[in-house]
Amino acid sequence: MKKVLIHSNHSKAFTGFGKHAKNLLIYLQKTGKYELVEFANGRKWSDSSLSKMPWKTYGSAPDSDIATQKAARDPKLKRQLGYGGIMIDEVIEKEKPDVYIGIEDIWAFSGYWEKPWWDKINHAVWTTLDSLPILPEAVNAAPRIKNYFVWASFAEKAMKELGHDHVKMVRGSLETDQFFKLNKDDKLKLRSAFGIDKKEFIIGFVFRNQLRKSVPNLLDGFKIFRDKNPESKAKLLLHTNWSEGWDIPRLLKEKEIDPSLVLTTYYCSKCKNYEVKPFVGQQQNCKFCGSEKTQNTTSVNAGVSEDQLNQVYNLMDVYCHPFTSGGQEIPIQEAKLTELITLVTNYSCGEDCCTEESGGLPLNWKEYREPGTQFIKATTDPFSIYKQLNKVYKMNDKDLVEKGKAAREFVLQNFSIEVIGKQVEEFIDSCPEIEYNFDIKPHNKKRNNNYPLQNIEDNLEWIIDLYKNILIRDVNENNDGVKHWMAKMEQGGSRKSIHNYFISVANKENQEIVDSIDRILREDASKKIAIVVNENATETFLCTSLLPSINRLYEDYNIYFFAPENSLDILKGNPYVYKSLPVSEDLFDCIALEREKEGKNLFDVVYYPSDASSGAFRYCHQGRDKIEYKTQHAHT
């Protein structure tokens, strides 16, 4: 049975990635063909709630609060912590999956393709690319990602124009049975429950309140429509969190829109009921259970169920989704499933959902450039919003029904979990099972950043030599990195520039070796002892005979044992060793290992064995006190 590791937002998160992960995991579980493991962003590694999941689940963030505190001061570390970069090697080593599928923004996987396991296991990156020009990181990573899935035809087309023909559109999935059109009587009862008149024309928008969602444009278009069609009694239903992103009350005041015309969804965290009404602030009292200050606008952490969200869509007469760009925008498809006509900005992923066959109408836009990235973004034309709202409002019942049915059918054929899940199932079945006879974690051997440019005539041999003697890696002609550099040379890349790049990577990885040791130690708040051995397996084994006496002398200390990589198996299961790690040259500076960093010593005591067979140890203790050490030989 193949083991499949799914890495994304936690499948219980109220996000697009979270919903998709849930759909995919449930589909794959129902096949009964795979052992599933979820690696959940947004949760800590040992989060107790994860034990209740129907499949094995790990949080992607470390348990240690020290790591979180350090990440708050380091933007790069913060990104790694949030997206699983700190713990990814741990879950790969622990679970040894046959297939890894990462479903996130592309920067979540930065550096993965440099890891020892990346080219050794079946992997797929399933990411959202939403703007032109395509993010350089996404383009540069393409040669190193064997199975590169994107959520929209917009992204697939753009990547193929750049020469990456292996990029394939695999859309985000929906559980289509949960969203459907209610009958007329049920819709009227639902409206009545929230005080919405049957003659009111309700324009809906379901969204995470991010700045890329064009709320000001929608308000402008809504105002134009209502002014020109006062008999419509139009109201706007914004299903979102009013405490993040756009300051909607301020916008309403600025645009002179009556706040009573804008509805929103309130959710009670205690009784789980919801209510649709105008916004009157957060922490409202719940009319259903009587709890005080438990009712807030819906959010990704506390929000309505799928069944309740389906009811929210059924309160609407039309759905309008203006945005600057997006990866897929799942609410658009959910609205289509309830047979609503959808108005969508005709840019980015919106191109797929504003066509005649999709049951949608396009919203015109003008280009602007995002500061810094210079991405092309869309600012949706408010007058276009008005025109399309007007078209739907004046559409006859027959056309409304036909267009609504076409919208639902489009989603069933292109976005349903049955369709998308089958594509993923076929991909997994095509992957071979993996034998883990290779290193998973980056080795701690120092990279050779002084290796000179070699005069090797054959280009392939020259590139392999760079890997072997600079990055200390054994590769062959089938390695994706080797193929990448061969292609660069065929395109005219110079040996000097490639050699310089390898030297820069060596410098970076040498620093990461030091940083990784620091990170491990910073996450352990206990007193610590280091034992550093750089000899053979026999020397490592003999040193273990001294561990019981060290443990008795320092019973409240954690013992870290550094030894050659081929000797680490000897230390597995040893009750006295808190953690065993590969030795490196940097560890033979006892003053550096006992240095104070961020107000705390890395190690309190450092031991270097000189002749373990005679029981003689050298140690350092910063000269603070004299340590009396008595050796007791173990009998074997």
221-248 pLDDT, tens digit each: 999 999 999 999 999 999 999 999 999 9
Residues 280 and 260: their CA atoms lie apart, in Å, by: 10
Residue 525: CB atoms within 10 A of its CB come to: 12
Segment 13-28 shows an average pLDDT of 94
Is 62 or 358 the better-scoring residue by pLDDT? 358
Q: Which two tokens stand for residue 196?
A: 């919405």
207-234: average pLDDT: 97
Q: Assess contact for 179 and 306: CB atoms under 8 A.
A: yes
Q: Coil, helix or strand for 619?
A: strand
- Paired tokens of 503: 């030297």
Most confident of 215-224, 538-547, 618-627: 215-224
Helix (H) or strand (E) holding 299: none
Q: How confident is the model over 19-45, as a mean pLDDT? A: 96
Check if the beta carbon of residue 529 is closer than 8 Å to that of residue 578.
Answer: no
Distances (CA, A) of 369 to 71, 135, 136, 366: 30, 14, 16, 10
The amino acid at residue 84 is G
* Average pLDDT value for the chain: 88
Q: Quick one: 406 exposed, middle or buried, by C-beta within 10 A (0-12, 13-18, 19+)?
A: middle
Helix, strand or coil, per DSSP, at residue 32:
coil
SS3 of residue 501 by DSSP: helix
**Average pLDDT of the segment spanning 87-110:** 95
- Start-to-end C-alpha separation, the chain: 41
pLDDT at 80: 85
Question: Confidence band (pLDDT; 50, 70, 90) for 629?
Answer: very low
**Can you give 414-472 as a three-state secondary structure string?**
HCEHHHHHHHHHHHHHHCCCCCCCCCCCCCCCCCCCCCCCCCCCCHHHHHHHHHHHCCC
% of the chain exceeding 70 in pLDDT: 88
| pLDDT digits 0-9 by tens, 241-281 | 999 999 999 999 999 999 999 999 999 999 999 999 999 99
Q: Which strand (E) or helix (H) includes residue 332? A: helix 330-337
How many C-alpha atoms does 547 have within 13 Å on its Cβ side? 20
pLDDT at 48: 93
Q: Which residue has the higher pLDDT, 367 or 626?
A: 367
C-alpha span between 181 and 299 (Å, rounded): 24
pLDDT band (50, 70, 90) for residue 219: very high
Calculate what percentage of the chain has a pLDDT beyond 90: 67
Q: Is the predicted pLDDT of residue 618 greater than 60, yes or no?
A: no
The pLDDT tens digits for 498-531 are 999 999 988 887 776 655 666 666 667 778 888 8
CA separation for the pair 226, 222 (Å, rounded)? 6
What global pTM score does this model have? 0.71
Check if the beta carbon of residue 34 is closer than 8 Å to that of residue 5: no
